[in-house]
Amino acid sequence: MKTCSLIANIIMLVILIPAAFGAMMSPFVFDSGATKRTWWIFGTLVALPILIISTQIISWVAYARHNYDFALKVSLVPVLDIFMIIFLFSVSSELK
């Protein structure tokens, strides 16, 4: 569990770089008009870097306290946001 937690944390920190660029470019989703779905996409894109940073802090604190199971679970929370982004983009592309 210790190694899995470290690998998950490193992967999330690598994902943080493109997530930050995605958050910077997120206002461009409103080019086609503001709908409820575009607001959801915008919110998930902006929330991803914030979510990664906050869960990484919590995960590293749990890791330092030798709570490896909790550290792994917390570090994987941003994956839910990534799945939500993929789902929202796939649904919005089908509507056009």
Domain boundaries, the chain: 2-94
Q: Which of 28, 29, 22 is nearest to 47 (CA)?
A: 22
Quote the CA–CA distance of 79 and 75 in Å, as a whole number.
Answer: 9
Query: Residue type for 77, please?
Result: V
- Give the tens place of pLDDT for each residue, 69-93: 999 999 999 999 999 999 988 886 6
- Give the tens place of pLDDT for each residue, 10-19: 999 999 999 9
Quote the CA–CA distance of 29 and 73 in Å, as a whole number.
Answer: 31
User: Please, how many CA atoms are within 13 Å of residue 43, restricted to the half-sphere of its CB?
Assistant: 9
Q: What is the mean pLDDT of residues 49-60?
A: 95
Quote the CA–CA distance of 71 and 62 in Å, as a whole number.
Answer: 5
